[in-house]
């Protein structure tokens, strides 16, 4: 999968994965505090943060596997830093990454506008929700509560991961720090059209 990748792409993806592995663990604590006040639905509002690295890496690198590999590495970093869920979290990261990757694959890895990035966030939300439903005991909640949880997670995935991921990358792009990556070639190509 990573055979045609340049070393700098692997390094950038790894760097983002480590940084967001740390961010993910920090947001787990934010979610835990908030859940103490409003219950398990608290996590759904911030779930998009746990999908963002897949969208950031794919938006920059634009190669098959960028979403799933970056999300899986970030989950592994989070486990190594002490997330109590343990290795099962790596599987969750893989599933989230697959959900984001599916949106990019559906476009043939050729479209990276805000709508596709939001769709990737929604894909990660839906894939992760199904996984969470099967393993997380969501069946104890009423149907209405579960539907509300899913709806909030979808919005969070679209807005925090999709729109937020685009904003992070566009900010980096404006600094010139992404020269030589696929995103800059695409922007230059778009400017000529």
Per-residue pLDDT tens digits for 110-127? 999 999 999 999 999 999
Q: Is 55 exposed, middle or buried (0-12, 13-18, 19+ CB in 10 A)?
A: buried
Q: Which of 35-49, 80-94, 132-146, 163-177 has the highest mean pLDDT?
A: 163-177
For the chain, give every domain's residue range: 7-192
Q: CATH fold of 7-192, please? A: Arp2/3 complex 21 kDa subunit ARPC3 (1.10.1760)
State residue 129's pLDDT score. 96
The pLDDT tens digits for 169-192 are: 999 999 999 999 999 987 655 433
């Amino acid at each position: 999968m990573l055979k045609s990748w340049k070393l700098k792409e692997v390094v950038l993806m790894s760097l983002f994965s480590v940084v967001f592995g740390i961010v993910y663990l920090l947001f787990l604590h934010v979610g835990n505090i908030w859940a103490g006040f409003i219950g398990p639905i608290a996590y759904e509002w911030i779930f998009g943060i746990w999908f963002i690295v897949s969208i950031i890496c794919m938006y920059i690198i634009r190669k098959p596997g960028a979403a799933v590999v970056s999300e899986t590495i970030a989950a592994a970093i989070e486990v190594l830093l002490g997330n109590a869920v343990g290795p099962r979290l790596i599987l969750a990261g893989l599933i989230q990454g697959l959900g984001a990757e599916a949106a990019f694959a559906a476009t043939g890895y050729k479209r990276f506008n805000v709508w596709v990035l939001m769709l990737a966030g929604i894909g990660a939300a839906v894939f992760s929700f199904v996984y969470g439903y099967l393993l997380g005991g969501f069946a104890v909640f009423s149907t209405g509560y579960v539907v509300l949880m899913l709806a909030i997670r979808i919005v969070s995935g679209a807005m925090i991961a999709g729109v937020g991921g685009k904003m992070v990358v566009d900010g980096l792009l404006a600094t010139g720090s992404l020269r030589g990556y696929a995103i800059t070639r695409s922007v230059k190509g778009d400017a000529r059209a």
